[in-house]
Structure 1
Amino acid sequence: MAVPERDVERMLAGLEPFLRPGTYVFARADVPPAGVVPAVTVAEDEGLTVVCTREEAEAAGLDYGFAAAWITLRVHSALDAVGLTAAVSAALAEAGLACNVVAGYHHDHLFVPAGEGERAAELLRRLSGGGARPG
């Protein structure tokens, strides 16, 4: 198994952003309903946040707010690495793009406004190609 990367410059150089197909939504549920396969769940004091496809949410009758495009950063970043989230968030914020970041065991996952996935992925490819932090 590959060792997770901790060096911010190498993480940025190896971002390899992958735009997943579809639209994902953030919904609230007591438990994920039948037919909903969450991409992400977050247990909060106020209830369970479920991130799933818009189609699944609508079929299950879930109310949702934020509709997003899902980008996976294929670099295997260490969970205790410093600087990757800040650099990526700064680049997207500079372009006026909201971003919700979820860290998985192997990769970071970005949820940007639906319809902005291609633009966000291109910005991240440029950030990766330069290997330098924005600023």
Structure 2
Amino acid sequence: MSGESDLTKLLGGMRPELNPGRYVFCTVAGSVVPPGVHPVATVAEAEGLTLVLRQEEADAERLAYDYVAGWITLRIHSALDAVGLTGAFARELAAAGLSCNVIAGYHHDHLFVPVERATEAVALLEALAARSATGTQA
């Protein structure tokens, strides 16, 4: 099943969902995930392997991190070649002074926002979705 690519449908059907827990971005040398660590995402970079994982796992393995995030999943199945979704929600969050780190999975977009403002971010995304669904999205 291919994902949705119509921007109005994507925005109106985002259904942002805050996943439980606190998440951090760590890096390790090489390209191997350390034993005992179960990242929700990895990114291979020239400088090392980035791991996105639960804060308690990073703490248990003594992995350094700077940023503690809430993880929001946009529940609509977005096409990987869809145009405008990331820009639209990024503008909405930026207008509220919220940073956002985005990872696209095959089915969904995943947003990592400051943990202390994650609930606010969900509310902003829900408001954007509601405006889009009624045709009043600006």
TM range (shorter): over 0.9
- What runs of 5+ residues in structure 1 fail to find an aligned partner? none
Distance 1:79 1:94, change over 3 A: same
Indicate the percent of aligned positions where both proteins have the same amino acid. 54
| CA-CA distance at 1:40 after TM superposition | 0.7
Could you tell me which residue of structure 2 aligns to residue 66 of structure 1? 67
TM-score, structure 1 as length reference: 0.95
TM-score, structure 2 as length reference: 0.93
1:76 corresponds to 2:74: no
Return the letter of the residue paired with 1:9.
T
Could you tell me which residue of structure 2 aligns to residue 110 of structure 1? 111
CA–CA distance in structure 2, aligned partners of residues 133 and 104 of structure 1 = 28
1:65 aligns to what SS in structure 2? coil
Q: How many residues align?
A: 134
Could you tell me which residue of structure 2 aligns to residue 124 of structure 1? 125
| CA-CA distance at 1:36 after TM superposition | 1.0
CA–CA distance in structure 1, aligned partners of residues 58 and 48 of structure 2 = 16
RMSD in angstroms over aligned alpha carbons?
1.3
Could you tell me which residue of structure 1 aligns to residue 23 of structure 2? 24
